[in-house]
């Protein structure tokens, strides 16, 4: 497991690029951490690393946002508002998982029992300073 | 047509709500049914085992019947059916478009594809006959924060948009951390009335000079940091002050940027739209800023601000008058862009 200290947004951008470089069709990245830890910021950095050029915003309200302009299709989820697995099924979650794109899933700990083994878990926590974050990848 | 009036149905299912409405002549609301606001259980004697807000497949036939019944008309009297085809959640949009296409195919009533944000903006035309393009619109909701030039009923230019959290979402997340539950936007608004808006100076994020884009994530994180450090120091936090100060920080930026956009474009006023346009403090701040400039403010009634079918019918009515109908191949477009992809709805 890697532990990385992110001191600023440049560090986040660099980590996003590093994660993006390793993505393949079907990759699943689970993003976990408390509110304000920077899940969406890191997701945006990964998207930029994939070459996504569209305007990006948080998927909290819409649950999933799709981006087609990068090296691979990107499906950016926030499953906080999903109440159960049936609801995930109804929004076509499994189809996204097997569509050949990349799934980035915020609040993935809420649905960990249905995510495949090969999911990469990225955990963000608050660091010592206000703008500092600690990122663990497993 | 009914009694010489042009009848439009609007179907909305892009996110949480299943909503269907019927409008006469684009302005008169004959019915406006929203799934979360009706007790389908009671009304249908337990026909539906479980009604969750996002279970559009279960909701849509009942909402449809109720919308027609309340409008007191039959499908043959409907002149066109409008449906939100994007942006939104694919599975949710699909229920609306598939249902609309089926009804259209079975009845011969023409179909109109509508953009969700277009519908929010044109909700203003229902109650404000003096509002005609071009004008400036501020769209603020749980999923969207946009400043948009409305050049025509089907022609839009985005001047600014959020780069992270939508404003309603920032409200909901702050509500979560101060213990008001989720979703809690309206609760923050209510609690803020009891607090001091200048008790805590939260960060106002303006981005690059002259940018009309928004960023609320940093303000949200500022609230979280404030709560954490107060907790560590063992200080008591006055939730009403936090709510009021957060709200003030957000509203300052929104009002400033809306006024910059208005100064830049020179329009006669601003049409606010979206669920957060219900927020009382935002309404008051916009009204004051516009009045001091001698400009007009248009806002829909609260029931037309949150997701609803009437706004879709209003947009469909305008599109139909422009001759912009969808074919039976109308698809749903989860990432539909209001500037460049509206033609997709009419192909």
The CA distances from residue B184 to B144, B168, B178, in Å, are 16, 9, 10
CB contact residues (below 8 A), chain B span 54-83, against chain A: 54-55, 57
Query: d(Cα B112, Cα B104) in Å, to the nearest integer?
Result: 10
Using CA atoms, how far apart are residues B212 and B264, in angstroms rounded to an integer? 11
Do B140 and B116 have their domain in common? Answer: no
B292: left (phi over 0), alpha (psi -120 to 50) or beta: alpha
Within an 8 Å CB–CB cutoff, is residue B177 touching chain A? Answer: yes
Q: CA B196 to CA B248: how far, in whole Å?
A: 9
Residue ranges and CATH numbers for the domains of chain A are 2-137 (3.40.50.300)
For the cut 50, the answer to whether the pLDDT of residue B177 exceeds it is yes
Q: Per the CB < 8 Å rule, is B164 touching A54? A: no
Average pLDDT over residues B62-87: 96
Mutation pick from A39, A54, A57 vs chain B, by most beta carbons of B within 10 Å, is A57
Question: What phi, psi does A117 have (nearest 5°)?
Answer: -50, -45
**Residue B332 confidence (pLDDT):** 93
Domain assignment of residue B1, yes or no: no
The residue among B217, B219, B228 with the most chain A CBs within 10 A of its CB, best to mutate, is B217
Average pLDDT over residues B253-270: 97
Shortest Cα distance from B74 to chain A (angstroms)? 31
In the prediction, which pLDDT does B46 show?
35
B164: nearest CB among A40, A62, A65: A40
Mean pLDDT of B270-281: 96
- The Cα-based distances of B342 to B78, B112, B113, B143, B328 in angstroms read 24, 11, 9, 19, 16
- Chain A touched by B92 (CB under 8 Å): yes
Instruction: Please report, rounded to a whole number, the percentage of residues in chain A having pLDDT higher than 70.
Output: 99
As a whole number, mean pLDDT of residues B326-343 equals 93
Question: Beta strands A120-126 and A133-137: pairing type?
Answer: antiparallel
- B139 and B68 in a single domain? The answer is no
Looking at the predicted structure, is the pLDDT value of residue A2 above 90? no
Same-domain pairing of B55 and B144: no
Name which residue leads in pLDDT, A58 or B213: B213
**Residues forming a β-bridge with B86:** B115
Domain assignment present for B137: yes
For chain B, give the percent of residues with pLDDT over 70.
95
Quick: pLDDT tens for A105-136.
999 999 988 999 999 999 999 988 888 999 99
- Evaluate whether residue B2 is within a structural domain: no
Confidence band for A1, pLDDT divided at 50, 70 and 90:
low
Number of structural domains in chain B: 2
Q: What percent of chain B has pLDDT over 90?
A: 82
For residue B54, what pLDDT band results from cuts at 50, 70 and 90?
low
| pLDDT of amino acid B261 | 98
On whether both B178 and B276 belong to a single domain, the answer is yes
Q: What is the arithmetic mean of pLDDT over A40-57?
A: 93
Q: Cis (ω within 30 of 0) for the bond into B287?
A: no
Domain co-membership, B198 together with B332: no
Domain containing residue B156: CATH number:
3.30.420.40
pTM of the predicted model as reported, rounded to 2 decimal places: 0.90
pLDDT, average across residues A85-91: 78
Which domain, by its residues, includes B290?
A: 132-299
B292-313 residue pLDDT tens? 999 999 999 999 999 999 999 9
- Same domain? For B60 and B177 the reply is no
Please list every residue in chain B whose beta carbon sits closer than 8 Å to the beta carbon of residue A36.
173, 177, 217, 220-221, 224-225
Q: Given a cut of 90, is residue A28 above it in pLDDT?
A: yes
B229 and B272 both lie in a single domain: yes
Lowest mean pLDDT among A47-56, B32-41, B322-331: B32-41
pLDDT at A62 over 90: no
B114 lies in the same domain as B82: yes
B221 shares a domain with B83: no
A27 contact B CB<8A? no
Q: How many residues does chain B have?
A: 347
> Is the per-residue pLDDT at B47 higher than 50?
no
Residue B323 has pLDDT above 70, yes or no: yes
Confidence at residue B55, expressed as pLDDT on a 0 to 100 scale: 76
How does residue B29 score in pLDDT terms, banded at 50, 70 and 90? very high
| Helix orientation angle between B90-107 and B56-71, rounded to the nearest 10 degrees | 40
**B290 and B336 housed in the same domain:** no
- Is the same domain home to B292 and B156? yes
Q: Is residue B174 included in any domain, yes or no?
A: yes
In the predicted structure, residue B265 carries a pLDDT above the cut 50: yes
pLDDT exceeds cutoff 50 at B52? no
């Amino acid at each position: 497991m890697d532990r990385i200290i992110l001191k600023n947004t440049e560090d986040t951008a660099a980590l996003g690029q590093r994660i993006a470089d390793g993505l393949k069709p079907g990759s699943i990245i689970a993003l976990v951490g408390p509110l304000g830890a920077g899940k969406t910021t890191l997701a945006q950095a990964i998207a930029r690393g994939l070459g996504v050029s569209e305007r990006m915003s948080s998927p909290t309200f819409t649950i999933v946002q799709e981006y087609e302009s990068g090296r691979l299709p990107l499906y950016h989820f926030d499953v906080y508002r999903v109440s159960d697995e049936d609801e995930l099924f109804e929004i076509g979650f499994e189809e996204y998982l097997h569509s050949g794109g990349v799934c980035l899933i915020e609040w993935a700990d809420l649905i960990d029992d249905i995510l495949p083994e090969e999911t990469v878990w990225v955990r963000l926590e608050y660091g010592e300073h206000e703008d500092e974050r600690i990122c663990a990848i497993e | 047509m009914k009694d010489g009036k042009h009848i439009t149905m609007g179907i909305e299912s892009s996110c949480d709500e299943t909503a269907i409405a019927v409008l006469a002549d684009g302005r008169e609301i004959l019915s406006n049914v929203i799934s979360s606001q009706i007790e389908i259980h009671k009304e249908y004697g337990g026909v539906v085992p479980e009604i969750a807000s996002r279970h559009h497949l279960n909701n849509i036939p009942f909402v449809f019947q109720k919308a027609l019944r309340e409008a007191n008309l039959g499908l043959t009297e409907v002149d066109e059916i409008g449906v939100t085809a994007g942006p939104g959640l694919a599975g949710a949009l699909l229920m609306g478009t598939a249902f609309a296409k089926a009804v259209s195919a079975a009845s011969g009533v023409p179909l109109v594809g509508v953009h969700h944000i277009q519908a929010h903006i044109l909700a203003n035309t229902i109650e404000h006959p003096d509002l005609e393009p071009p004008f400036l619109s501020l769209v603020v909701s749980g999923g969207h924060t946009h400043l948009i030039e409305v050049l025509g009923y089907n022609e839009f230019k985005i001047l600014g948009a959020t780069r992270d959290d939508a404003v309603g979402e920032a409200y909901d997340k702050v509500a979560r951390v101060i213990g008001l539950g989720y979703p809690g936007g309206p609760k923050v608004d209510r609690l803020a009335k009891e607090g001091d808006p200048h008790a805590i100076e939260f960060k106002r994020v303006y981005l690059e000079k002259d940018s009309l884009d928004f960023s609320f994530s940093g303000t949200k994180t500022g609230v979280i940091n404030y709560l954490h450090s107060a907790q560590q120091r063992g200080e008591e936090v006055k939730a009403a002050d936090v709510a009021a100060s957060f709200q003030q920080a957000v509203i300052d930026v929104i009002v400033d940027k809306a006024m910059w956009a208005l100064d830049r474009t020179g329009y006669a006023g601003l049409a606010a739209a979206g669920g957060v346009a219900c927020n009382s403090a935002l309404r008051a701040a916009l009204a004051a800023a516009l009045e001091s400039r001698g400009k007009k403010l248009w806002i829909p009634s609260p029931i037309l601000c949150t997701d609803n079918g009437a706004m879709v019918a209003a947009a469909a009515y305008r599109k139909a008058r422009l001759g912009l109908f969808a074919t039976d191949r109308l698809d749903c477009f989860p990432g539909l862009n209001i500037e460049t992809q509206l033609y997709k709805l009419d192909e």
